[in-house]
């Protein structure tokens, strides 16, 4: 049976955050690899350790991507594109 309310169930909202966070991580990997030649030392080493699938990130790094995912959701709410 489908929910009758127009709001997303909490689990679905969590799934959306995770999906958006994964896309954010993919975007960051793409960008960071493109500019990596200009970055050296500890920063470059930290970046390289993060060039993994989202599922393989630490919880702290996942949360950093979730912050950006929540910003996207907030924008979509503000524009009435999602409830």
Q: What's the sign of the alpha-carbon dihedral 74, 13, 69, 27?
A: negative
Place of tokens 């503000």: 78
Please state the length of the chain: 83
Specify if 46 maps to a domain: yes
Residues 6+ apart with CB under 8 A from 25: 54, 57, 62, 65
Backbone angles phi, psi at 20, to 5 degrees: -70, -40
Specify if 8 maps to a domain: no
Does residue 6 have a pLDDT over 50?
yes
Per-residue model confidence (pLDDT) at position 9: 59
Domain count, the chain: 1
Specify if 1 maps to a domain: no
Residue ranges making up the domain that contains 52? 19-78
User: For 14-63, what is each residue's pLDDT tens digit?
Assistant: 999 999 999 999 999 999 999 999 999 999 999 999 999 999 999 999 99
Specify if 4 maps to a domain: no
pTM: 0.82
CB distance 16 to 73 below 8 Å: yes
Specify if 36 maps to a domain: yes
């Amino acid at each position: 049976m489908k929910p009758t309310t127009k709001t997303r169930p909490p689990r679905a909202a969590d799934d959306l955050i995770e999906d958006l966070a994964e896309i954010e991580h993919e975007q960051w990997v793409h960008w960071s690899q493109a500019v990596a030649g200009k970055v050296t030392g500890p920063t470059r080493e930290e970046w390289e350790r993060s060039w993994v699938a989202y599922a393989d990130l630490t919880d702290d790094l996942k949360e950093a991507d979730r912050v950006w995912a929540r910003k996207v959701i907030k924008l979509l709410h503000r524009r009435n594109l999602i409830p």
